[in-house]
Amino acid sequence: MNMPAESSPFAFPKLDGSNYTSWKEDMKVVLMDRGCWSFIIEEDKPCPEQATEKEKFEYDWRKQRCYTTIYQGIERKFLPLIQHTTDGKEAWNILKTNFEPTSKARLAVLIDEFFEIKFNPEEETIGIFCKRVDEKKTQVKEAGFEIPELLISLQLIRRLPAEYVII
């Protein structure tokens, strides 16, 4: 019997082990919206000693919010990965280490998926098709291989319908 997917407090699915690439982009936007992304990219420095109590409180609150936002965005079965910390940056890196697709097998799957992308004129515009190709190219790059621009161009052209033959 399949268990229903856990609901997310956000407008995107929780990290479930198979959606890391899209999850990290969605979570990045939520963390930016909540004023916490700077902790992940290490642009937020601790409050100076002369900071007011209010400034220190706000800093601590945002730092905690960074972690709690990530915590709420993953399925319960993955919570043990990050429960030993309360630092958002550390939690982010732990999840990245565990879910970032970098194996050769994953790379092979991503390259196959890249070359299988087809344009569907009933469901998408050319712009959306190009964006899907670009997103898959980015996933392949994140997995450790950069697809040459010539192959990207060929993929875009070869999957267009016959009415685009003049391209």
**Mind listing the pLDDT tens digit for each residue in 92-106?**
999 998 887 666 777
**Mind listing the pLDDT tens digit for each residue in 117-161?**
988 888 998 899 999 999 889 888 877 789 999 999 998 888 777
> Can you give the pTM of this predicted structure?
0.62
Provide the residue type at 20 as one letter.
Answer: Y
Among candidate residues 86, 118, 92, the one with its CA nearest the CA of residue 23: 92
**Mind listing the pLDDT tens digit for each residue in 52-89?**
999 999 999 999 999 999 999 999 999 999 999 999 99
Token duo for residue 90: 């550390």
CA distance 46 to 102: 33
Asked if 69 and 36 count as a contact pair (C-beta separation under 8 A), the reply is yes
> What was the pLDDT predicted at 161?
74
Asked if 113 and 137 count as a contact pair (C-beta separation under 8 A), the reply is no
Please, which pLDDT band fits residue 2 given cuts at 50, 70 and 90? very low
